[in-house]
Amino acid sequence: MESGVGRLLTSAERRKWPNGPVRSAFAIGDGHVLTAWHCVSALIGGEARLWLRLQSPSENDEFVDIPVRYQDHSPKLDAALLTFDERDADRDHTYGEELRKLLDSVALPLGTDVAVHDDVRILGFPERNVAVFATAHHGKVRTTTSRIGKARAINLQVDAFGTRYPEGPKGMSGGPLARVYPDGGERVVGIVASFPPAGPDDRDALGGAVVCRRLADLR
């Protein structure tokens, strides 16, 4: 699951790695990537070139950058759909095809069913964690019928965000919410969207709470 979750970067941020803003996104197949709209809304207007930095399948490289561009979004659901950008792929057509195949090979399985008390994981790039690749935190679904405006949302309890010395959720936005099934299988059922801010700098999640948008509402 982690191999399909990447950090979303602008061209300028690629050169500043690992510093700069933290945005999470994930591959869903057919050359497409999902993220939170608020992560990219300020960038899209300027037609910024975007890159999804994923783990490299090669032992010789630490990571690989996949060029992606804006395709569509839903402000009500705070979701954005990105697609593989052939224009920014390497001029070598063969390498561009390899990048597209890699993106599709790590696509995460999608689902829609989620219920109260389900075991889940959220994946992404928490701002305080210096890990190069996506990290995961386990949680439990508290409600599936919350509302943000007119749109439904899923509320989670993530213990790692509610401890005395918590991991910070900021930067996880745009990452996947994966339901964990009894057999160990996982399917993405939501997109990490926000958290009730707490702490002196508003970078902690009040009580370890996290809010996710429902994938079912995007279909």
pLDDT digits (tens, 9 = 90+) for 28-39: 999 999 999 999
H and E: helices and strands count for the chain: 3, 14
Q: Which CATH entry fits the domain spanning 119-218: 2.40.170.20, 3.90.870.10, 2.40.10.10, 3.40.50.2300?
A: 2.40.10.10
Q: Which pLDDT value is given to residue 89? A: 63
Q: Which pLDDT value is given to residue 47? A: 64
Percent above pLDDT 90 for the chain? 59
Give the residue among 99, 106, 140 at the shortest CA–CA distance from 121: 140
Is residue 135 a contact partner of residue 124, using CB atoms and an 8 Å limit?
yes
Strand partners, 204: 198
Class of domain 2-105: mainly beta
Strand partners, 156: 141, 210
pTM given for the model? 0.91
For the segment 144-194, what is each residue's pLDDT rounded down to a tens digit?
988 888 889 999 999 888 877 777 788 899 999 999 999 999 999 999 999
What CA–CA distance (Å, rounded) separates 86 from 9?
Answer: 17
DSSP 3: G
In this chain, the answer to whether the domains covering 2-105 and 119-218 adopt an identical fold is yes
Q: Which pLDDT value is given to residue 148? A: 84
For the segment 66-99, what is each residue's pLDDT rounded down to a tens digit?
999 999 999 999 999 999 998 766 555 567 889 9
Domain spans of the chain, in order of start: 2-105, 119-218
Q: Which pLDDT value is given to residue 168? A: 76
